[in-house]
Amino acid sequence: MNKENFAFKIGDFTCTAISDGSLTYAPPVFPAPTAFLFPNAPKGILEQVLHEHNIQPEHWTEWISPYTCLMINAEEHRVLVDTGADGLGPNTGNLLQNLQRQGVSPRDIDTVILTHGHPDHLGGNTTLEGKPIFPNARFVMWKSEWDFWTSKQSEQIIKEHGMELLLSIAHKNLLPIQDMVTLVDNESEILPGIRAIATPGHTPGHMALTISSKDEQLLVIADAFIHPIHIEHPDWYAAIDAIPQQVVNSRRRLLNLNTEKTVVSAFHFPFPGLGHILQKGEEWKWQPILKVN
């Protein structure tokens, strides 16, 4: 299997995990991985868990996170979930090239679902000149998420938190598509079989999805869980999570939606970011569908 595209079936739908690349999270731009991913984890337990995951805590100086978008061929619709990071880092912005490898041009995409307004999820909405890259698409976003990144009210809050860069990337990629966007504010079907799930916390209007066809289901958790260890410890939020208590509640909700048969797609987990969440009593564990070396 290559590390760029991985196709799989959910009932009658053909889905493809498509890599946009990866970004290295390390000081000085980001906190060290443990502080970035698990700021509230008790140190002793965290070290033990990291060892179980073959991570040496004292040598863990950078976290290399894959960015994996998802394409869904759902009956006559061609749907893209998130548009990647464009040129955010030296190894990001490969989405279009990898779509092309699948024989898909940006014009072929009729629906783009944006899970939230962070640069790694909407950075590929527009060209350098600010033109929409997916000219025929209807964009779908949770209403409070759109409002958060575009309203004057939250601009002040975002600036106070030193997130000007995030704001400017959101503006560059959201304002040019404002006439192409459908905002959702309740859990309903975006398209037949594709349902929006409110999972606020990582950002104010973060959205997960269920993709159902026949009796098969894909649960797109996006950034509700950023690292597989968050599945085992849903109370351990990340430093980038805007509203930690909501993240924990949203994660529990998703864990309750999960069944043995559910396939789970996670944007930041090792490529292709697909697996099952195994449950034993009140404990959960991530089981990748396959490992890519």
Q: Which is nearer to Zn ion, 74 or 264 (CB)?
A: 264
Q: Which is nearer to Zn ion, 20 or 120 (CB)?
A: 120
Q: Which is nearer to Zn ion, 4 or 241 (CB)?
A: 241
Question: In angstroms, rounded to a whole number, what is the distance separating the alpha carbons of residues 23 and 40?
Answer: 23
Q: Per DSSP, what are the bridge partners of residue 111?
A: 79, 138
Min dist CB 59 to Zn ion, Å, is 25
Min dist CB 34 to Zn ion, Å, is 18
Applying CB under 5 A, the residues found at the interface with Zn ion are: 120, 223
Q: Which is nearer to Zn ion, 4 or 223 (CB)?
A: 223
Q: Of all helices (H) and strands (E), which one includes residue 252?
A: helix 244-257
Running DSSP on this structure, what letter comes out for residue 175? G
Min dist CB 200 to Zn ion, Å, is 15
Degrees to nearest 5, angle at CA 70 with 7 and 9: 35
Min dist CB 31 to Zn ion, Å, is 16
Written as six digits, the tokens of 282 are: 């009140």
Q: Of all helices (H) and strands (E), which one includes residue 135?
A: none
Cβ of 165: how many Cβ atoms within 10 Å? 10
Min dist CB 118 to Zn ion, Å, is 5
Q: Which is nearer to Zn ion, 13 or 269 (CB)?
A: 269
Written as six digits, the tokens of 50 are: 């990291």
Q: Which is nearer to Zn ion, 74 or 95 (CB)?
A: 95
What is the SS3 assignment for 30? coil
Running DSSP on this structure, what letter comes out for residue 137? P
> Which of 81, 83, 97 lies closest to 3 in space, CA to CA?
97
Degrees to nearest 5, angle at CA 265 with 197 and 272: 160
Min dist CB 220 to Zn ion, Å, is 13
